[in-house]
Amino acid sequence: MAPDERYRSVLLFGPPGVGKGTQGGILANIPGFFHLAVGDVFRAIDIGSEDGRQVYEYISRGELVPDDLTIKIWKKAVDAYVALARYKPREDLLILDGMPRNVAQVRIVRQYLNISSVISLECRDYEDMIHRIRRRAIRENRVDDANEEVIRRRFKVYEEVTAPVLEQFDESIVHRVDANGSPAEVLYSILEYVIPAQNELFAANQVD
């Protein structure tokens, strides 16, 4: 994509169970934000399709889906939302949750994204998040979240492969938010950083 055609976006970053989906879902209800969770895109794929079988093979083991397959599926989902006018890039700030998941993907996503901010949700108690993920698995029938061994594998992969992603961004756009508070309190902190990004999008369109 040409630089001026890239999607203006904010990345929601953090370990499994930290609340990225919760906060992204809240923002999605505010006009001018479009939340896309890559994990939800993966779970929505037809498991009988070739892509679906490959995705399930990796997430069922708590491993990352390979880069080329991740980007292919993500781009297909974005294009579909644009075609259906559910996501309007000139009007909506993209809140992207779950990508990039490794250092190599940072270079790839920069071809498609104009990243205004990276919101890093941080929680010190991984054990609490593991229990939260297991409760969510029961409530939402998430097969990939039901096995504690798989969950712990996901945290190990996050620490070794995904956490270093933050170092790829200029510190001036990386904002660390304590995820231990109530959803409203965490949202309040996030809005401090996403409102300026949304205002930039609106201003750019007014100029156009």
pLDDT at residue 207, rounded to an integer: 53
pLDDT at residue 132, rounded to an integer: 77
How many angstroms separate the Cα of 61 from the Cα of each of 44, 136, 157? 18, 18, 11
Domain residue spans of the chain: 3-207
pLDDT at residue 143, rounded to an integer: 61
pLDDT at residue 131, rounded to an integer: 76
CA 129 to chain CA centroid, Å, is: 17
pLDDT at residue 127, rounded to an integer: 78
pLDDT at residue 4, rounded to an integer: 74
Selected from 2.30.40.10, 3.40.640.10, 3.40.50.970, 3.40.50.300, the CATH number assigned to the domain covering 3-207 reads: 3.40.50.300
Residue among 44, 35, 32, 39 at smallest CA distance from 15: 39
Whole-prediction pTM: 0.87
Low-confidence residues of the chain: pLDDT under 50: none
pLDDT at residue 133, rounded to an integer: 81
**Residues belonging to the chain:** 208
Find the angle CA(97)-CA(116)-CA(33) to the nearest 5 degrees.
55
Query: Do residues 65 and 58 touch, judged by C-beta distance below 8 A?
Result: yes
How many angstroms separate the Cα of 98 from the Cα of each of 38, 55, 90, 138, 146? 5, 14, 22, 21, 19
